[in-house]
Every structure is written in structure tokens, then in C-alpha cells.
Structure 1
Amino acid sequence: MTLTRHPITERNRRVLFRPREWALFTQPRAVVGFVVALVAVDVLLAAVGVCTTAPRAGELLTAAVIVASGAVCVEAMRRLGMPQGMVRDLLGVWWIPVVLLLPPLYSLLTPIPLYVLMQYRIQRAVMFRRVFSAAVVALSGFSASTVFHALRPGQVVLLDGVAGSARSSVLLNGPGIGAAVLCAVLFTVCNTVLIAGAIRLSVPEEPRRTTVWNSESLLLDTVEVCVGLIVAVLCALSLFLLLVVLPPVLLLQRSLLFQQLQTAARTDPKTGLLNAVAWERVAKTELARALRTGCPLAVLIVDIDHFKKVNDTHGHLIGDQVLLGVATTLSHQLRQYDVIGRFGGEEFVVLLPGADMAEACRAAERLRTRVGRMALPVNDTTVTVTVSIGVALLRVHGRDLLELMAAADLALYRAKDSGRDRVCLPVAKSVGVSVRSADEPSAESRDS
């Protein structure tokens, strides 16, 4: 291998030997402290565990077989493809048997090879995020395993790698099953709480229900716990039974990833909002319903003012954070059934079902005000932005989505020409209906 084929640029050398330029240290201090503390605790516990846990052939073989089964699932994930952003998997199915059948030390060590495999076989994620994910699983598994072995002391004994009545009986009686369920749930809860904590520290304004606290996540966690317990029981009876349970787990993993890939195809990767194609599809459905029922409907086009200046001054990474911040602020100020998407560049589109002219203008003004109050910390300063918004009403400015978008776009240009940081309606008449001037206080913001 020569350096000409894989050159190390001067910037790469600088980043490599200057820890302050690593991706971790670009995060808020609370996130850096949280990640470093978590990894340090895992390393300390692993060092103590290595000194106090005597290796046994049966335990090592069981751990190896479980890791190999997890590696098969990782390889299946690679072949299907991985969506961007936060990805749910079913690797907990393999962590739970380790928690219940092996000493706590193995819960700290077994995540390492699988996450290394994910890093180099599936997707080269930011390294500190991959390390953090492994550390979360390790600490959660160690905690649950410690509790389980405290509840059922001395009963999980691996005499060989193929079968053992002592290790299977603990999971086949009433108290053992109860303790196993409790500790499997404890593992899942610890894992979720640690991840949610990191998200809250990184993005404090992110709503819990849009990250890990929602009904779909709860259902997936329940499935993962149930299947993990089944795998643990079969593994306790005989390691050969993993050949029976592996295909169903692979099928569940494939179904889960396929659903996430479908969702990723509909969302914008930088903001998590609907992309333009998906938004247009949903908007046409809502528009047809409004025309059929006679209900009002409004369309807003929201454009960030002087966004190019933000990119030129602070860089595109900060620009992406501004986009995410604006998207989050808009989402917080809208109703659950309003449809918001990223139209492209620094533009967002909003569909307001059931909104008449007054309500649409009030909503647009609320969005304008809240975005103007948003402050994004960058080094020793903060970045603030404003938005201009164009509003169009169904039956007033058009009767199909193309007409409404064109009218809202004209209103947006009017807001830009009037000084930006304001809400405007179209001036011209559309489809033969007179439109009240947007210069009236009820239709347009006077603030700049």
C-alpha cells in the first residue's frame, strides 16, 4: 500500500493529532462529558470484571456462538441497506441471552465485536457515536446481568457448551422466568434512558415523542424482549437450537429495516421532515378532501432570510444545524395533523387543513416570531435567523396544489421585497375572487 493511493491530507493529520478537532469535541460540553463518563465507567467495570471472573470453556463457547449469530444479522442488515439517521435493530435479541446466561463481564465485552463489524461492514458512522452506542448496550447489559445474578445466585452454571440442566432450569421455573423478564425489561429501559438522555443533551428542544418515547418504539422494545427471552431459553437448552431461531430473527430484522427504509425514502435526511415528493403526495390527498367536504385549507411557504450568509460566515455544518433548528421550531408550533416538509434549500412548505385566512395568518405569524427568537450557540457567539412567509388560501388563490403553490410563492417574493421577516398574502386576484390586501394588519405582520 502506498500513500499515493490513500493520501493523508494536511487537514486529516491536523484532526488526527488535535483532539479538540475530533467530532466528539464539536458537541455541547454536556454531551462530551456524558459520553466520556459512560465509556470510562464501562472500561473500569470491564477491568474489574477481567480480574474477578474466571474464564470457563462453556461460557466462552456460548458467548462466541451468540456473537456469531449476531454477526449473521449484521451481515443481513448490510445486504438490505441502512437508512440514514437513527436506526432501530433487533440486536437486543442477542444481548438478552448474554445478560441472562453469562456472567456480567460478558455483557460488557460482547457488544464490541458486533459494533466493530457494523462500523466496517455496514456504515462508517461518526466514531464517537458508534462507541457511545456500544457503551450504552454494555452498561445496560451489565446492570441487568448483575441484577439477574443477584436474584438467582449460583444457578446459572455453564458446564459445557452444548447442554446443561443447571443453566436451563433457571429459565424454566416460575421465579426464574419472572427474574428473567424483569432483567430483560431493565436492560431495555436502561438502554432507552441512556440514549434519550444523550439526545436531550444534544438537542434539548427535541420532543421526546419524536425520538424514543412513542408507541411504535414501545412495541418494538416489547417484541425485542419477548424474542430475546425465547432465544435465551433455547440457548440454555442447547446452542444447536440457535439454528432454529436464527431464520425468524433474520426475517423480523429484514421487515423492520424495510419499514425504516420506506420511511427514509419519504423524509429529508437533514431535517427529518417530509421531502418534497412525499409532502406533495400528502398535500394532494388533503386538498382533495378539502374540496370534497368544503373545508378551508391554507398553504405556507417559509424561506430562511439570508441563509447563504449563514453558510458563508459559519460553514455548511452550522447551516445544517440552522435548518434542523428551524424545522424543529416549525414542528413545535404546528398542530399534529398539519403537514410540513422541506421544499428544497432553505425553503419549507406547510399545509394547514381547516385553516381559513385569519387562522392561516395567525399561524404564519406565530412561526415567524418563534423562529426569530431561536438562537443557535456557535463557539463564543450565537446564530439567529429570520424567515419570510407566503400564504395562499384554497378557493381564494387557487383550486389545485399547483395554483396554491404559485400564489404562496408570489406572496413570499412580496415578503422578501418588502424587507423580509414578515408574512404576506398575494396581491393579485386569483380565479375571479377578490383578495383582501395583505397590507391590512390582520393579514400581514408589521414587524421587521
Structure 2
Amino acid sequence: MVPERPPLSGEHVRTGGCAPHRWPLWQLPRLLLGAVLLVEAVAVALLVGGFLTGPAPTAAELWAGGALCVLGIAYSEMAVGVERERRRLGGASYVDLSSVWTFAAVLVLPGAHAAVVAIVITLHLWVRAWRRWVPLHRQLFSVATVVLACIAVGALLESVGAQQKPLWLVLVAMVLFTAVNSGLIAAVVALSVPHAGPATLFGPPDENLLEVGMLCMGALTAIVLALNPVLLPLVLLPLYAVLRAALIRPLEAAASTDGKTGLLNAATWVAEAERIVGGADPADRAGGVLILDLDHFKAVNDTHGHAVGDHVLTAVADAVRRVVRAHDLVGRMGGEEFVVLPRRAAAGGRSVELDSVELEVVAERIRSRVADLRLEVPTLRGPLVIAGLTVSLGGAVAPAEGSDLAALLQTADSALYEAKRGGRNTVRIAVASGQPSSVPLAARGPGVPARAKD
């Protein structure tokens, strides 16, 4: 398992082949750097110690290890295109399928020998598919965690000493392998990202389910290796099919989200917002909509460049996400313009006045959060501090008789212009008309503001 995680605190994401003394690894905080180097040093020490103190590999073990390496490399070559696409589309968590060969090696080889198989396969996969996105020092840390997981499981199996491994022992080995590998990575991420949630530390549930499935496939591969090694190549095709299927979720996410901010893109936001606004279920309706636009964003791009502007957009998107509730609908309409559709807190007892107050409260929280932002953006000339950002917000409240999304957006757009004319860094809320908008959404062009608001 090689989870993808956010860049470690203080680490610039660089994937080029720079000299080791220039690796971003050395820019990590001391505590974090110490933890990373400690894990790698322990892995190297235990691996060398395993070879020095353990028995020499038998001919059967050499054959089994070689066969697993060949199969793992053959899989990598078959799947290199898919792996590159998954890595390109990957989010905060990433699981590869090399655990099949690694866990199979753990069940049939001593821990140190299984670790060698894992090193060969994972480094080959990195060279062929991941090198562009994953710096070498990060890959080496991931390899170190896999080595420690192999050695820990090998010690467990050796202590039990069972020639035939019962189901309970295989299950315990799976738990131990996952706990060591994922636990070490989660510990380092926790040092880098304070107050990180479980999804950041361990990845989303479906990724973890995929990892468990690969470990089960590894156990079945070990059984085939012991009973009839000639059948081993049959594992490759179903494994490749699983990998192709695993690509569906990141492709769907990429099609519905904005590449810079991770928010919903304009088309997806409009489609989902129309479903909610026009829905028959009162509990799933929204009382209004907000449009927010960064003030003087063109000056940021002109002064510091578009790369810094992208950092600003990402920070503002994150600020909005932290203010709204998880079930509220947030999207980027294009440029520096964002939209929010807050869901109603509860059905029944609603009024235009209450919806207006709630919408203004949300808008003021967003405005205040953005105004408090202080960004440190890495540049070639060192960290650049960006502060003093402001945002103007226009809101539209649905009237008692209801309104369509186009009318809400048109009213919110007009309110936003009022906020701009009122001095920026302010909020304006208006009640939308109950009549359908004379300007359909298709004519407005989601993501293309009608006129400059900067």
C-alpha cells in the first residue's frame, strides 16, 4: 500500500531528479524529518539484520521470490498506463495493487526475503509509472514502511511456526501488515497535518476496502504458488481488470470537480443545484444561493503571477469549505467566482425572513474567514506572504412561492454588483422574483460572468 497524502508541512512538491542534498526532505520540520529518517533507518537495520542472522534462502524460496518479482514486474508493465492515469487523477489517498505480490511473498518467504520482493516491485512501479508525481524521498519512505510490515509479519509467522497456515493466522497477518504499513504513514501525516481526520490519515473507506481486497488476492496467490505454480500467470488478467475498474472513481471525480480548487465545477454544480431547487422534497430544498467574487484578484495575478493566483484560489475554496456544512453545495463558476447553495437546516416553519438571516450569516462567515487568510506561497525567491484578501458576496433568497435556479442566480449576481459598488468586502442579500428568469442558465453560460466584477 502506498497512500498518497497531502505534501508534508514545509515540503515543496517537486518530482524532478535533483541531487539528494537538495531534496525537499531536508526542508521538513525537525520532528517530522527525524520521524521519517528513524523509520527508514530501522527498516534498513532490520533488513540487513534479517539477512545476517537468518538462514540462507533455499532453492525453493529463491524460485518463489523470483517468480513473484517477475509477475509483479509483468503486472507493472501491463498496467503502467492505467497507473499513470490513476496517479494523475489521484486525490488525498492512493492505493496501488502491488500488495498482491508483497503479501504473497510474506506468506511463502522469510520476512527479509519478502521485503526484497516488495522493494523490487514497488521501485520498478515508481520508475515506470509514478516518478513524475512522487519524489524519490517520499517513495523511499513508503518502501521503508512496507519493509517493516514484511519483517513484522515474518516474525509473527516464524514465532507461530505453523507449516500449514490456518485461516486465523492469515487474517492476523493481514491485520498486522496493514497496521504497520498504514500506521507508520498515518503517524507521519499526523505530524505534518495537525488535527487531521481519519480520511486524511488512512484514506477513504473505499480505498481501504480495495487494499483489503488486494491482501486477500495476495493470500490466494500464495496458495496457488504452493499448490500449482504453473497457474500463477492467471492472476494477472483479473488483477488488471480490477485496476481498470478502480480507475472509474477518480475519472468520475475529475469530470465533476474543478482542477484548481477541488470544488464542483460549474456544470456539475448547476445540475445538482437545479435538482435541489426544483425538488419535491421540502427537506432537500435550499432557501437561497450565494455568489462570491474575490476583490482585486486581477492585481494578484498581475503582480505575482498566475501560479500564486492559483494558490489564492485554492486557499479561498478551502476557507469556504470550512465555513459551510458538509451537505451544502459549493462550486467554482470560473475565474475568481464561487457559488454556494446552503441547504435548509430543517423542513417546516420556514419563512423568507429566516432564510434571509441564515443566508447572511453564512455569507458573513465566509467574508470574515477570507479576510483573515494569511498565505505563505513558495516561490523561487523564497516564501511569499499573501494577506489582505477580501471577497464580495451577493445572495438571493427564494420567495415563499418558490423560484427557479436561473432567477436565484440572476438576483444573486445583481446583489453581488451592489456589494462591489458598495465598497467591496461586503455582503448584499436580495429576495428573488417568483417568476422564472428571463435569462436562462444556458445563455448566462456557467463559469462565464456576464461582465467584469474585479
For the aligned pair, the TM-score class normalised by the smaller chain equals 0.7 to 0.9
Pair 1:84 & 2:93 matched: no
CA distance in 1, matches of 2:193, 2:312: 12
Displacement, 1:66? Answer: 1.6
Displacement, 1:182? Answer: 0.7
The 8 Å contact of residues 338 and 351 in structure 1, kept in 2 or not, is answered as yes
Change (3 A) 1:293 1:18: closer
CA RMSD of aligned residues (A): 3.5
Residue 125 of structure 1 aligns to which amino acid in structure 2? W
The 8 Å contact of residues 397 and 407 in structure 1, kept in 2 or not, is answered as no
Change (3 A) 1:64 1:36: same
> Counterparts of 1:43-442 in structure 2 under 5 Å?
43-53=44-54, 54-80=56-82, 81-82=85-86, 83-85=89-91, 86-123=93-130, 124-127=132-135, 128-152=137-161, 155=162, 169-171=163-165, 173=166, 177-204=167-194, 206-209=196-199, 212=202, 214-289=204-279, 295-307=285-297, 319-354=309-344, 356-377=355-376, 383-384=386-387, 385-395=389-399, 399-426=403-430, 430=433
CA distance in 2, matches of 1:26, 1:285: 47
Displacement, 1:339? Answer: 1.6
Number of residue equivalences = 400
Change (3 A) 1:414 1:102: farther
The 8 Å contact of residues 396 and 430 in structure 1, kept in 2 or not, is answered as no
Moved more, 64-73 or 388-397: 388-397
For normalisation by structure 1, the TM-score amounts to: 0.76
Residue 57 of structure 2 aligns to which amino acid in structure 1? P
Residue 104 of structure 2 aligns to which amino acid in structure 1? P
Displacement, 1:289? Answer: 0.9
CA distance in 2, matches of 1:345, 1:205: 31
Q: Deviations over 1:252-302 (max 9, x none)?
A: 222112232222322233433322232222222222216988944322223
Displacement, 1:181? Answer: 1.0
Displacement, 1:184? Answer: 1.0
Displacement, 1:73? Answer: 3.1
Secondary structure (helix, strand or coil) at the match of 1:122 reads helix
Moved more, 112-121 or 278-287: 112-121
Residue 100 of structure 2 aligns to which amino acid in structure 1? V
The 8 Å contact of residues 206 and 328 in structure 1, kept in 2 or not, is answered as no
The 8 Å contact of residues 50 and 105 in structure 1, kept in 2 or not, is answered as yes
Gaps of 5+ in 2: 1-13, 346-354, 437-454
CA distance in 1, matches of 2:297, 2:332: 15
Moved more, 358-367 or 301-310: 301-310
Secondary structure (helix, strand or coil) at the match of 2:423 reads coil
Secondary structure (helix, strand or coil) at the match of 2:278 reads helix
Secondary structure (helix, strand or coil) at the match of 1:350 reads strand
